[in-house]
Chains A and B, each alone.
Chain A
């Protein structure tokens, strides 16, 4: 299979997956969304009448009043197309088309910090923060993990190997968010070093905002790195052990090339394909896994936005956020596949 064909088939599959994901989200959230929107309209109509005494006085009976409310509600429901059910082909079609042209519309309840209810604005505000925290920590994790893993793997069975493996297994058994709670307990309340809430209290327009944000980022960052690098080191170690048994490494050893050079240039190079694949996957996976961690640390990013949107059933934001998360995930799977094929020619031919 040629690279072009491979890429195009992949792209088509990715697009299909994206559409399926969004359609599934729509199906799951759609009915609840309609009920909430209709209730909102009834409430709006009633509050408009009570706020305007002139209209309220013009009714002679309760019946007339109810009829008026019903009439107004029906009109508005029709005006925004809520009279057909959410699963009607017409509405689904319009919604999917709008998603396709990246028009997510306006959020129903939530707004950005700046006050905009445009879904694009909200996501544009939250996404960089999530990338800042989770991508930074993933990079730190992978650097520590690769270094430690290579060291441990090249000396399998040594003290450092056993220490790394033990730490990896134990640390990966703890949920990140629980460690987060413990870290907040210890470093924000027992010893008051870091702030407990990761959301800076000063407005984003303030020049000191970046510094405040970085300071607030410290505790979540330390937590994620602490829990994450062990598993990475363990993975790299396992690849390394496999490679260190290969004949060419033994040959290099007998040639008298220094251990350090063998580990970091020859062996690690051969372990690169799986490592890069995992790096690509975990970079995007970090965005998806952010939901619980952001909830614990109150980090104002995509994960928290997503969770808030689901709790109030804010469909435009759920769709927008799912779109962004899925796109990131798909791109990273794609990049991982390409990298794997590039480094390991055997994959291409199969």
Chain B
């Protein structure tokens, strides 16, 4: 092998379309990772396995952009937390009024609706909820008094659409509908036409009034959730987690795992191989036998055993992957070293009495660097897929939302039979895109280092 200068590699690389495409994809992934790490609060990533963090999100809902299609519009999950607030006071009675405007233009009823609030009050104020529909009809949903308290307290509550008193109140207003409304859920009644059971599209206004006597009452957090079947850019999973966040966090994790394993194993393999080749004779023989043994160990079964018996921590996993990754590189760099060793300048350096470590680092390793760079790029996808595979089997680190982990969850909750394509497809596509970026770069480097492949 002939030495290629770094400038030459750079020049050749810039000519290679496929290499530049790889760098382009990699750049996008790196930017995505940086944006994720900077913009998305680290909290979401720590909360990934905490179900209560995701409670207001819908279960297994499709990405919102499915509604761009000309077919049926799936109801979108709406979380409204900025109500229009009014405050009125006449005499002793004060009214806090929160108004939510819900634009409903979908072809199916919402799943449910939930009103979440925490109120600061004293005494026993009255909470009333009603809705004004697009056709002007006003329906009273609820009126209940909050638990009595002599001092000022903060009370939090969730009112679900399945609440018995909402059902009862609607039943009392059944005359307004031309069809029997008993046995229908409250959201099916509220969002229906009055003549015939079917969706009524338009703007709905949900009103919440808190009546108090003499007291200055307040509603602190006020949230209306209209449950739908579409949410977010990438949809949600069975545990209501926003898949967009999982996929985004997966990017820096995959890059970290892939690059750490690749660099670690290539550097280790390179040094091992160079040392064995340089020393030669018995040392070489012994080191190569050890290499043979590790080469012959079945890697995947061992990785599985290691993660089950020792630990499934992601950092140890990176170490385990390195343990099996360096072998091939050691073999090649040894045989390359054997060739370089015979070159005049190495022998000259030896005769001049230079230290072995200096000869290795100054004269041999630099010659192998182009090959090492190509090897690093080529080893990254394998590391990422192996980690994803282990995670998919349920042996990964559950505290990190890697792409393999997401696919593992998808498999467990039967995403394929249930047709939840947005749960299965994106993580795999991300794995493949990340792999492709490195394969492109690796192939471009490889064809520069081994010019035979490029000719003709």
Q: Which residues of A are at the interface with B, using a C-beta cutoff of 8 A?
A: 13-14, 16-17, 20-21, 24-25, 28-29, 32, 156-157, 169-170, 172-175, 177-179, 181-182, 184-185, 188-190, 196, 238, 241-242, 244-245, 288-289, 291-292, 295-296, 306-307, 310-311, 313, 318, 321-322, 325-326, 329-330, 333
Contact = CB atoms under 8 A, between A and B. Distances in A.
Interface stretch (B39-47, B53-61, B296-304, B342-350): B296-304
Nearest to A325: B298
Interface in B411-456: 411, 415-417, 419, 421, 424-425, 427-428, 431-433, 435-436, 439-440, 443, 452-453, 455-456
Interface string B293-311: 1011111111011101110
Given A25-B305, A245-B452, A174 B296 contact: no
A233 B265 CA distance: 27
A221 to B, nearest CB: 18
A20 B424 CA distance: 39
Contacts of B309: 28-29, 32
A17 B298 contact: no
B424 A182 contact: yes
Nearest to B440: A169
B329 interface: no
Contacts of B417: 188-189, 196
B373 interface: no
B389 interface: yes
A311 B308 contact: yes
Given A178-B431, A292-B392, A306-B301, A241 B292 contact: no
B219 interface: no
28 contacts: A13-B289, A16-B293, A21-B297, A21-B298, A25-B305, A169-B440, A172-B439, A175-B385, A178-B424, A178-B427, A178-B431, A181-B416, A184-B416, A185-B415, A190-B419, A196-B417, A245-B455, A288-B298, A291-B304, A292-B300, A292-B393, A295-B392, A306-B304, A307-B393, A310-B305, A318-B305, A321-B301, A325-B298
A29 B306 CA distance: 9
B263 to A, nearest CB: 20
B431 A185 contact: no
Contacts of A170: 432, 436
Interface residues of B, number: 47
Contact of B443 (A169, A291, A321): A169
Contact of B305 (A16, A28, A172, A185): A28
A20 to B, nearest CB: 6
Given A178-B431, A181-B407, A182-B424, A333 B455 contact: no
Contacts of A321: 301
A24 B297 CA distance: 10
Interface of B: 289, 292-293, 295-302, 304-306, 308-310, 381, 385, 388-389, 392-393, 407, 410-411, 415-417, 419, 421, 424-425, 427-428, 431-433, 435-436, 439-440, 443, 452-453, 455-456
A321 B300 CA distance: 13
A296 to B, nearest CB: 7
Contacts of A291: 300-301, 304, 393
A28 B310 contact: yes
Contacts of A179: 428
B378 to A, nearest CB: 11
A100 B350 CA distance: 49
Given A173-B436, A292-B392, 20 more contacts: A13-B289, A17-B292, A20-B293, A21-B298, A156-B456, A173-B431, A173-B433, A174-B428, A174-B431, A175-B431, A178-B432, A181-B415, A185-B419, A189-B416, A196-B416, A291-B393, A295-B392, A307-B304, A311-B308, A333-B296
Nearest to A16: B293
Contacts of A181: 407, 410-411, 415-416, 424, 428
B298 A322 contact: yes
A189 B424 CA distance: 14
A278 to B, nearest CB: 13
Contacts, number: 136
A289 B456 contact: no
Contact of A173 (B292, B308, B381): B381
Nearest to A318: B305
Nearest to B289: A13
Contacts of B388: 175, 178
Contact of B411 (A20, A245, A296, A307): A296
A185 B298 contact: no
B300 A288 contact: yes
A184 B416 CA distance: 7
Contacts of B297: 17, 20-21, 24, 326
Contacts of B300: 288-289, 291-292
A292 B299 CA distance: 13
B436 A169 contact: yes
Given A196-B416, A307-B393, A17 B296 contact: yes
A295 B440 CA distance: 30
Given A28-B309, A289-B300, A177 B389 contact: yes
A17 B295 CA distance: 9
Nearest to B304: A310
Contacts of A13: 289, 292-293
Contacts of A189: 416-417, 419
Contacts of A296: 411
Name, among B296, B411, B419, B424, the residue most crowded by chain A CB atoms within 10 Å (CB to CB). Answer: B296
Nearest to A321: B301
Given A21-B297, A242-B452, A288-B301, A174 B419 contact: no
Nearest to A14: B296
Contact of A185 (B407, B416, B439, B440): B416
A230 to B, nearest CB: 12
